[in-house]
Amino acid sequence: MKFSIERAVLLKAVSQAQSVVERRNTIPILANVLIEAADDFVQFRATDLDIEVVDKATAMVERAGATTVSAVLLHEIVRKLPDGALVSISADAATGRLTVSAGRSTFSLATLPKDDFPVMATAEYAANFSAPAPVLRRLFEKSKFAISTEETRYYLNGVYMHTAKAEDGAVLRCVATDGHRLARIDAPMPDGAGDMPGVIVPRKTVAELRKLLEDDDMIIAVSVSETKLRFATPQLTLTSKVIDGTFPDYTRVIPTGNAKRLEMDAAEFARAVDRVATVSSERSRAVKLALDEDRLILSVNAPDSGAAEEELAVAYGDEPMEIGFNAKYLQEIAAQVDRENAVVMLNSSADPALVREGDDLSAIYVVMPMRV
Amino acid sequence: MPSLCRDCFTQFDAQPRCPACASPRAARHDELFDLSIAHMDCDAFYASVEKRDNPDLANKPVIIGGGRRGVVSTACYVARIRGVRSAMPMFQALKLCPDAVVIKPRMQVYADVSRQIRAMMQDLTPQIEPLSLDEAFMDLSGTARLHGAPPAVMLARLVDRMRRELGVTGSIGLSHNKFLAKIASDLDKPRGFSVIGRADTAEFLRGKPVRLIWGVGAAGQQALSRAGIETFDDLLRWDSADLTARFGSMGTRLWHLARGADNRPVSPNRPVKSVSKETTFAEDTADADLLDGHLWRLSEQVSAAAKAKGIAGRVVTLKLKQTRLKSITRQISQDDPVQLADRMYRLARALLVPELGKAPFRLIGVGLSDLVPDDQAERGGDLLDPQAAQRAGAERASDAIRARFGPDAIQKGRSLR
């Protein structure tokens, strides 16, 4: 195998591969990226046995072939090469080494046989549809903060992507929750997604999707089965197993009877929460919200370190009430609200609050209060 | 040589017997009246309490411990003559001493006696650091003028008072630091009074094994042994820097201890780091229902201890022991600290379920750590478990009923499994 490739193209392909490989894995081949050169392109394939990415890049291939080499090592090398360099890569079957050279630098890397590399079995997908990258990006980016890290509730360690019936028709919906907060994000149903089974997309897959979905003009091909899902652009294909579990019935968690309405500037609110929470030394910082007519007083009282209070002008016309929340949860939700005012629907100090952007129901958040 | 009669507390010199009461029980040491750091260790504490409460047991071998499969928690001195030791498996103890009277521990009673002892110590000094129910460090520095007597006299009076008023005996170790005081109290048990002075520290440690150091267990001994360290003399040959490089902060401490130096203060407020309870089964079990029942009772006990202390913890630990004595520990961390038995049990159960395939088990335990004051705990809720708030309310109400009508006034059906 021998080919030349532009440093920038190679870096992009290898960086996706090195982020997928498991850093602490005990199976040596899983630390490697499978490089396959044929015709006018080179494929870089990496897997942790749950996720597989295949990145296709154009290159000048002199001799077809394949081998595997440490993904992290190759990434580090390519990253340190000068911008604009032309990188030449060749495998020497006799020595079992992969030579990487650019300008005056030459690296000789250990390889492992390509036949040892585990390739993920192809699946029969129940639904195939395509959606613009920004639509999918919004679904995952706005919900991922609520993914649980608790391993005992493994079925919450991902985003539940499924189809649902919303007020104004069928939607593609992503839900994530850790029991303390919940995010429910809707997008118009793409053609062909109707038959899609609901799947729990693992946290790591959601993180890996970021790069795949970053180009605004890209149309992403999505395939979903009961056990796997695939996101593909012409260059990049990401296949992932889904979490084998049942996502809890989240619909009963979403409050429907909260009648007290608080409206405010989300960014200003988040900054104020951040300021008052400074004095709290606890890990779960509790902030008290005291509501009165068009006035919100945020306060934190930490017996050991001090107290803080800040007043915000808000729109509120219901009876005065007090409610406490974990400061971090409030900030994370407020950070999702970026176009309009945040609207918070409240019931009592013990009931979950519902947060949305203006009156837009396509992105709603639920947060559990905290006794203060 | 300064001497003290341990029966009538007369201070005297030289004579072999007390000039006042002719008792031969005297403590003698050049620095006897100058030393002020003490360690008091009760003699076969649980067994002494049982013998006190049941005089029929006075001359019988008594072993305190759980069932046939448990271990000896305390053996009285009669049983010890037959070779029974604490932490020995019960079946082995019973082989050595088949006529032993085995008594299940009555922790509540021991805790009460311990509290009374602590109150007596409080009369000597506020600087008390309890290590367990039956032993504590005391720092009596600067109390001689207040009491009109040096620390040695007050300590002799303390154990005498414990014997007369509570019916339990203890041994005293008196020295110039905690490390040596702790070693001294063990030198001539029961009813001992041993002194290690500054001048004879080096002589005392010479040739002694390093396992004397409190906190150096089997694993520590092994690590030291690999470095060729068996005795304090071996330790003395090491540089401070080399010891630190090899054993970390413990190495630095070892270097000082080898020279009889220990500057840790007697600190009354040693914070509690964790609360835990465990139980060993009479027979190894893989019965999920039985394990679940134990898990609930243990969670209730840990929760009760946490409630009594006003603490809660962010980390819940499940401990299991397999038949081949292999330990499994699993932990779960929570943003909202845990105090309620209901929550602790549910978290521990979530940890247990994936491990059930490794049954049978011989031990199960539940622990709470990363502790915080309980005013920071149980403040949130679980969106996915809307009934949690009701169960929390029910638990608080049950606690109130138990506080008023006794611990058995109300129980969950679950705890009867």
**B336, B350, B383 member nearest A352 (Cβ):** B383
Mutate to test the interface with A, among B346, B375, B376, B384 (most CBs of A within 10 A): B384
* A327 & A274 share domain: yes
- Rounded to whole angstroms, what are the CA distances from A139 to A123, A134, A214, B62, B248? 24, 9, 13, 69, 49
Model pTM? 0.72
User: Between chains, do B382 and A284 touch, taking CB under 8 Å as contact?
Assistant: no
Domain boundary among A55, A82, A116: A116
Closest residue of chain B to A354, computed from CA coordinates: B383
Per-residue pLDDT 10s for chain B (417 aa) are: 899 999 999 999 878 899 989 999 999 999 999 999 999 999 999 999 999 999 999 899 999 987 556 788 899 999 999 999 888 888 888 899 999 999 988 888 998 999 999 999 999 999 999 888 899 999 999 999 999 999 999 999 999 999 999 999 999 999 999 999 999 999 988 999 999 999 999 999 999 998 888 777 777 788 888 888 999 999 999 888 888 888 887 888 899 999 999 988 898 876 678 899 999 888 889 999 999 999 999 999 999 999 988 899 999 999 998 877 678 999 999 988 999 999 999 999 999 999 999 989 999 999 999 998 888 889 888 999 988 889 999 999 998 888 888 777 888 877 776
Name the H helices within B186-259: 201-205, 218-226, 232-236, 240-247, 249-258
Contacts of A286 in chain B (CB under 8 A): 379
B390 interfaces chain A, CB cutoff of 8 Å? no
Does residue A362 lie in a domain region? yes
Cα B200 to chain centroid distance, Å, stands at 29
* A295 & A210 share domain: no
Helix (H, G, I), strand (E, B) or coil at A340: coil
B96 interfaces chain A, CB cutoff of 8 Å? no
B351 interfaces chain A, CB cutoff of 8 Å? yes
Residue A193 C-alpha, separation from nearest chain B C-alpha, in angstroms: 28
Over residues B162-178, the pLDDT tens digits come to 999 999 999 999 999 99
Contacts of B352 in chain A (CB under 8 A): none
Q: Is B274-409 the same fold as B31-199?
A: no
How far apart CA A274 and CA A297 sit, in angstroms, is: 14
A366 interfaces chain B, CB cutoff of 8 Å? yes
Burial (CB count <10 Å: 0-12, 13-18, 19+), residue A258 = middle
User: Between chains, do A153 and B350 touch, taking CB under 8 Å as contact?
Assistant: yes
- Please tell me which residue in B50, B129, B135, B395 is annotated as part of the active site: B135
Residue B102: name the closest of B134, B131, B60 by CA: B60
- Most distant pair of Cα atoms in chain A: their distance: 81
* A233 & A262 share domain: no
- How many Cα atoms within 13 Å fall on the side-chain side of residue B154? 28
* A248 & A267 share domain: no
Residue B203 annotated as catalytic: no
Over residues B272-309, the pLDDT tens digits come to 788 999 998 888 899 999 999 999 999 999 999 999 88
Domain boundary among A116, A136, A152: A116
- CATH architecture of the domain B274-409 equals 2-Layer Sandwich (3.30)
Does residue A122 lie in a domain region? no
How far apart CA A140 and CA A209 sit, in angstroms, is: 9
How far apart CA B105 and CA B117 sit, in angstroms, is: 19
Query: How many of the other CB atoms lie within 10 Å of CB of A67?
Result: 25
Please list, residue by residue across A200-216, b when 16 or more beta carbons sit within 10 angstroms of its beta carbon and e when fewer do: bbbbbbbebbebbbeee
How far apart CA A35 and CA A55 sit, in angstroms, is: 10
Domain coordinates in residue numbering, chain B? 31-199, 204-257, 274-409
* Phi, psi (degrees; rounded to nearest 5) at A176: -140, 145
* A267 & A240 share domain: no
* DSSP code of residue A70: E
Contacts of B347 in chain A (CB under 8 A): 152
Mean per-residue pLDDT of chain B? 90
Residue B335 C-alpha, separation from nearest chain A C-alpha, in angstroms: 6
- CATH architecture of the domain B31-199 equals 2-Layer Sandwich (3.30)
User: A22: domain CATH number?
Assistant: 3.10.150.10
Residue A182 C-alpha, separation from nearest chain B C-alpha, in angstroms: 8
User: Between chains, do B384 and A177 touch, taking CB under 8 Å as contact?
Assistant: yes
For residue B69, the model assigns a pLDDT of 64
Strand B26-28 to strand B2-5: parallel, antiparallel, or no bridges (unpaired)? antiparallel
Over residues A289-306, the pLDDT tens digits come to 999 999 999 999 887 788
A246 interfaces chain B, CB cutoff of 8 Å? no
Per the DSSP assignment, residues forming a β-bridge with A355 are A344, A365
How far apart CA A358 and CA A364 sit, in angstroms, is: 10
ipTM of the complex: 0.81
Contacts of B378 in chain A (CB under 8 A): 371
Residue-level length of chain B:
417
Is A263:A357 a contact under the CB 8 Å cutoff? Answer: no
Contacts of A371 in chain B (CB under 8 A): 378-380
**B314, B372, B383 member nearest A179 (Cβ):** B383
Strand B170-175 to strand B193-195: parallel, antiparallel, or no bridges (unpaired)? parallel
* A228 & A330 share domain: no
Interface list for B 260-319 with A (CB within 8 A): 314
Residue B95: name the closest of B109, B107, B105, B85 by CA: B85
* A44 & A98 share domain: yes
Residue A179 C-alpha, separation from nearest chain B C-alpha, in angstroms: 5
User: In chain B, what percentage of residues exceed pLDDT 90?
Assistant: 63
User: Between chains, do B389 and A350 touch, taking CB under 8 Å as contact?
Assistant: yes
Contacts of A151 in chain B (CB under 8 A): 332
What range does the domain containing A286 cover? 254-367
Name the H helices within B277-361: 288-309, 341-352
Mutate to test the interface with B, among A156, A348, A368 (most CBs of B within 10 A): A368
User: Between chains, do B380 and A252 touch, taking CB under 8 Å as contact?
Assistant: no
User: Between chains, do A282 and B376 touch, taking CB under 8 Å as contact?
Assistant: yes
* A97 & A178 share domain: no
Helix (H, G, I), strand (E, B) or coil at B10: coil
How far apart CA B186 and CA B194 sit, in angstroms, is: 8
How far apart CA B139 and CA B154 sit, in angstroms, is: 12
A198 interfaces chain B, CB cutoff of 8 Å? no
Per-residue pLDDT 10s for chain A (372 aa) are: 999 999 999 999 999 888 999 777 678 899 999 999 998 999 999 999 999 999 999 999 999 999 999 999 999 999 999 999 999 999 988 888 999 999 999 999 999 999 999 988 887 899 999 999 999 999 999 999 999 998 889 999 999 999 999 888 899 999 999 999 999 999 999 999 988 999 999 999 999 999 899 999 999 999 999 999 999 999 999 999 999 999 999 999 999 999 999 999 999 999 999 999 999 877 668 899 999 999 999 999 887 788 999 999 999 999 999 999 999 999 999 999 988 899 999 999 999 999 999 999 999 999 999 988
* A38 & A144 share domain: no
Closest residue of chain A to B335, computed from CA coordinates: A284
Mutate to test the interface with A, among B343, B379, B385, B390 (most CBs of A within 10 A): B379
Closest residue of chain A to B351, computed from CA coordinates: A152
Strand (E) or helix (H) holding B178: helix B178-185
A53 interfaces chain B, CB cutoff of 8 Å? no
Closest residue of chain A to B375, computed from CA coordinates: A372
Residue A160: name the closest of A72, A78, A43, A251 by CA: A251
User: Between chains, do B376 and A284 touch, taking CB under 8 Å as contact?
Assistant: yes
Per the DSSP assignment, residues forming a β-bridge with A97 are A92, A110
Fold for domain B204-257? DNA polymerase; domain 1 (1.10.150)
Closest residue of chain A to B373, computed from CA coordinates: A282
* A284 & A315 share domain: yes
- Rounded to whole angstroms, what are the CA distances from B282 to B46, B91, B289, B326? 22, 11, 16, 17
User: Between chains, do A286 and B379 touch, taking CB under 8 Å as contact?
Assistant: yes
Q: Domain tally for chain A?
A: 3
Is A34:A66 a contact under the CB 8 Å cutoff? Answer: yes
* DSSP code of residue B85: -
A282 interfaces chain B, CB cutoff of 8 Å? yes
A369 interfaces chain B, CB cutoff of 8 Å? yes
How far apart CA B343 and CA B349 sit, in angstroms, is: 10
* A131 & A248 share domain: yes
Q: At what angle do helices A203-212 and A133-141 cross, to 10 degrees?
A: 150
A122 interfaces chain B, CB cutoff of 8 Å? no
Residue B374 C-alpha, separation from nearest chain A C-alpha, in angstroms: 12
User: Between chains, do B382 and A180 touch, taking CB under 8 Å as contact?
Assistant: yes
Does residue A372 lie in a domain region? no
* A60 & A112 share domain: yes
Residue A263: name the closest of A288, A298, A291 by CA: A291
* Phi, psi (degrees; rounded to nearest 5) at B112: -65, -45
How far apart CA B277 and CA B295 sit, in angstroms, is: 10
Does residue A259 lie in a domain region? yes
